[in-house]
C-alpha cells in the first residue's frame, strides 16, 4: 500500500508512549498499534483529528504517500 504511517516517529519525537496516546485520544491501544504498524486500511477523520490534536501535529506528519513502482 502506498500510504505509510509515521505514528511511531511522531510519538518518539514527542517522547510519548502509545498507551498515553491511547488514554488521551480515547482509542484502544490495539487500534493505535494497528495504525502504527500499518495494518489498517482506513482511518476516520475524527480519529485523525484527535491524534493530531493530542500530538500537536499535522496529518502529513503521520501519513506519508510513497508511490509504488510499476511492476
Segment 41-51, tens digit of pLDDT: 999 999 999 99
Ordered by where they begin, the domains of the chain are 3-65 (1.10.260.40)
Enter the DSSP assignment of 64: E
- What is the sign of the dihedral through the CA atoms of 43, 45, 50 and 51? positive
CB 64 within 8 A of CB 6: yes
| Residue 68: per-residue pLDDT | 82
Mean pLDDT of all residues in 19-31 = 96
pTM (2 d.p.):
0.87
Q: What's the rounded Cα separation, in Å, for the pair 24 and 18? A: 10
Amino acid at each position: 500500500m502506498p500510504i505509510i504511517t509515521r505514528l511511531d516517529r511522531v510519538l518518539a519525537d514527542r517522547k510519548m508512549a502509545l498507551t498515553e496516546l491511547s488514554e488521551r485520544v480515547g482509542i484502544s491501544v490495539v487500534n493505535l498499534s494497528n495504525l502504527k504498524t500499518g495494518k489498517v486500511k482506513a482511518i476516520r477523520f475524527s480519529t485523525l483529528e484527535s491524534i493530531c490534536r493530542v500530538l500537536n501535529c499535522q496529518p502529513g506528519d503521520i501519513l506519508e504517500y510513497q508511490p509504488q513502482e510499476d511492476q
